[in-house]
Amino acid sequence: MKIADGVEALALTMDFMGRQMVIHPTLIWDNDTVILVDTGMPGQLPQIREAMDKIGVPLRKLGEVILTHQDIDHIGGLPDILKASEHKIEVSAHEADRPYIEGEKPLIKMNPERVAKMLQTLPEEQRKHAEAMFAQPPKASVDRTVADGETLPYCGGITVIFTPGHTPGHVSLYVNQSKTLIAGDAMIVADGRLLGPNPQATLDMETATKSLKQFTQYDIETVLCYHGGIYSDNVNQRLEELARNH
């Protein structure tokens, strides 16, 4: 899904704990740099490769990966991407989520107790698949950490917005040239409406809802949510409403 010149939302179908859903990593590129924001689930490299080929920006050109946070549907494809590349890909994330991405600490939402509880609800075949996936959670080195307000010098400037709550180190990204907000899981789109964070998937709802106020400092024309996709209807007004009502 094209958002602007050099900004495209990939639509990947994933199966998580018996539920099918579509997730939206983002590709940002210009003549000098190709960036992938979030990497999908383990095993989704073929989908990512196919989607990038269709856009005309092949995987071999990828130079940067930025992770909005540590959840498995955002970092799961990273090890395969790094392994598939013939050159070094720089990985960026916020310091607060770095230890989880690197495997120093277990993913907060995928601790053994929670995983075991979720697996109990699955049919045998799905349970075996999920057990294999969680037996070795994805991990990769973070090459650089990003901070709130930092403007990354790629593709006309990408500003980091620290939006904790969903996880301790969740960040969103503002693509300056196209006025696009890559919200990660700080918000969702459901039934065509832009909504706040999903309570079922958010660690600290109080902090996550406070983070919404960060977005009102920017002039945003399009929002891309990892879950739900694109929203572009009076965005600034809607963000003001969300910030005010939470």
Domains parsed from the chain with CATH numbers:
2-245 (3.60.15.10)
* Tokens linked to 167: 């996880």
pLDDT value of residue 20: 81
pLDDT recorded at residue 131: 61
In whole angstroms, how far apart are CA 127 and each of 33, 112, 132, 215?
40, 14, 9, 39
Q: According to the model, what pLDDT value does residue 114 have?
A: 66
Q: For residue 34, is pLDDT > 90? A: yes
Which tens digits make up the pLDDT trace of 121-132?
A: 666 766 666 666
pTM of the model: 0.92
Q: Are the beta carbons of 24 and 226 closer than 8 angstroms?
A: yes
pLDDT for position 18: 62
**C-alpha to C-alpha distance for 114 and 94, rounded to whole angstroms:** 24
Gap between the Cα atoms of 222 and 4, Å rounded = 9
Q: How far apart are CA 215 and CA 65, in angstroms?
A: 22
Q: Please identify which residue in the block is written with the tokens 């006309």.
A: 156
Please give the residue that has the higher pLDDT: either 1 or 90: 90
- DSSP structure string for 174-195: EETTTTEEEEETSSEEETTEEE
Using CA atoms, how far apart are residues 60 and 242, in angstroms rounded to an integer?
Answer: 39
What pLDDT, on a 0 to 100 scale, did the predictor assign at position 120?
Answer: 67
pLDDT digits (tens, 9 = 90+) for 176-231: 999 999 999 999 999 999 999 999 899 999 999 999 999 999 999 999 999 999 99
